[in-house]
C-alpha cells in the first residue's frame, strides 16, 4: 500500500511540475489596422500575419504575446527590446536593413493609389499626381516610394504630402476629402476598397517583399527561417492566403 501511495505521489509531482513549466514567450509587435494582414474584427485581433505568427510560434515551441503599436514605432521598439519580433506586413528594404535583420521573404506586394469612389481623378502616369494632395502612413514603403521616386526627382512637392500615424486616420482623411489620394500596399488597398466607398486609380509595380523584422544577430533567426520556410511551402499557407486574399 505504501508503495502505491508513493507511486501516486511521484506521478502527481511529475504532473504538477509539467503543468508548471511554461513555454518561453515571444513578444510580437504589429500595427493592427492593416487588413487583411492585421486588423481587429469584433474586438478580436486577426489577419494573415496574426495567424502566421501563431503557427510560427507553435512550430518553434513558443507562446505569443501580441503588442499593438503604430507602424513607425515597431523598429524602435525592436531595437529597445520592448518586443522580440515585428510582424506587420513590413517590406524588406535597404534603409531598414541598416538597423535590423529580416527573415526570408514570405509575401510579395505592389503599391496602389486609392481615392474616393466618386472622384474624377485619373492617373495614367505618376506625373499625373503632381498637383494632388497625397497621404501616406508614417514609416511605410509608400512614404519611401514618394520620397525617392517623386519628391527627390522634383515631380512632387513635400507641401503636397500628408503623413498619418495609422491607416485609420489616413482613410478618414481621404473619406473627408482632406487629401485627394492615399498610397498603400495593394493588398491593403483592395481590402479597404471592399469595405469603404473607395477605388484604386493606379497600381505601381514595386515587387515589395515582406519579412519578419528582428534585431541583428537574433538567436532565433535560423529557427524562424526554418519554420517560416516550412509554413510558406505548405498547404496551410495556400489556404491562409486564399482565406484573406482570395485566389
* Residue pLDDT, tens place only, 123-161: 999 999 999 999 999 999 999 999 999 999 999 999 999
Does 181 fall in a domain?
yes
pLDDT tens track for 56-98: 999 999 999 999 999 999 999 999 999 999 999 999 999 999 9
The yes-or-no verdict on residue 20 having pLDDT over 70 is: no
Do 114 and 192 lie in one domain? The reply is yes
Give the span between the Cα atoms of 127 and 143, in whole angstroms: 16
Do 202 and 114 lie in one domain? The reply is yes
Does 228 fall in a domain?
yes
Compute the CA torsion angle 132, 136, 139, 141 (nearest 10 deg): -80
Does 11 fall in a domain?
no
Mean pLDDT (the chain) is 92
For residue 184, the model assigns a pLDDT of 96
Do 177 and 231 lie in one domain? The reply is no
The yes-or-no verdict on residue 113 having pLDDT over 70 is: yes
Return the residue matching grid coordinates 469612389.
117
Per the structure, the count of domains in the chain is: 2
For residue 153, the model assigns a pLDDT of 94
pTM of the model: 0.85
Do 101 and 217 lie in one domain? The reply is yes
Do 46 and 129 lie in one domain? The reply is no
Contact criterion met (CB below 8 Å) for 185 and 49: no
For residue 23, the model assigns a pLDDT of 84
Does 9 fall in a domain?
no
CATH classification at residue 127: 3.40.190.10
Give the span between the Cα atoms of 125 and 110, in whole angstroms: 16
**Average pLDDT over every residue of 221-233:** 98
Do 54 and 176 lie in one domain? The reply is no
Do 130 and 187 lie in one domain? The reply is yes
For residue 11, the model assigns a pLDDT of 54
Q: Which domain holds residue 49?
A: 21-106+211-245
For residue 115, the model assigns a pLDDT of 98
The yes-or-no verdict on residue 104 having pLDDT over 60 is: yes
Do 221 and 138 lie in one domain? The reply is no
Does 13 fall in a domain?
no
Do 176 and 126 lie in one domain? The reply is yes
Amino acid at each position: 500500500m505504501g508503495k502505491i501511495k508513493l507511486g501516486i505521489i511521484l506521478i502527481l509531482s511529475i504532473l504538477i511540475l509539467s503543468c508548471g513549466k511554461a513555454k518561453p514567450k515571444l513578444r510580437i509587435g504589429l500595427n493592427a489596422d492593416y487588413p487583411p494582414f492585421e486588423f481587429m474584427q469584433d474586438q478580436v485581433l486577426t489577419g494573415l500575419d496574426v495567424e502566421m505568427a501563431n503557427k510560427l510560434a507553435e512550430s518553434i515551441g513558443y507562446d505569443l504575446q501580441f503588442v499593438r503599436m503604430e507602424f513607425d514605432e515597431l523598429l524602435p521598439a525592436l531595437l529597445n527590446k520592448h518586443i522580440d519580433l515585428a510582424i506587420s506586413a513590413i517590406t524588406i528594404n535597404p534603409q531598414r536593413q541598416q538597423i535590423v535583420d529580416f527573415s526570408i521573404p514570405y509575401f510579395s506586394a505592389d503599391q496602389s493609389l486609392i481615392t474616393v469612389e466618386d472622384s474624377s481623378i485619373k492617373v495614367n502616369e505618376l506625373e499625373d499626381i503632381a498637383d494632388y494632395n497625397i497621404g501616406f502612413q508614417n514609416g511605410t514603403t509608400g512614404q519611401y516610394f514618394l520620397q525617392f521616386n517623386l519628391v527627390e526627382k522634383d515631380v512632387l512637392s513635400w507641401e503636397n504630402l500628408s503623413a498619418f500615424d495609422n491607416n485609420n486616420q489616413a482613410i478618414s482623411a481621404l473619406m473627408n476629402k482632406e487629401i485627394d489620394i492615399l498610397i498603400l500596399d495593394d493588398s491593403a488597398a483592395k481590402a479597404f476598397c471592399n469595405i469603404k466607398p473607395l477605388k484604386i486609380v493606379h497600381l505601381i509595380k514595386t515587387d515589395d517583399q515582406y519579412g519578419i523584422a528582428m534585431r541583428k544577430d537574433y538567436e532565433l533567426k535560423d529557427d524562424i527561417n526554418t519554420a517560416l520556410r516550412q509554413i510558406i511551402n505548405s498547404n496551410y499557407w495556400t489556404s491562409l492566403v486564399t482565406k484573406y486574399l482570395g485566389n
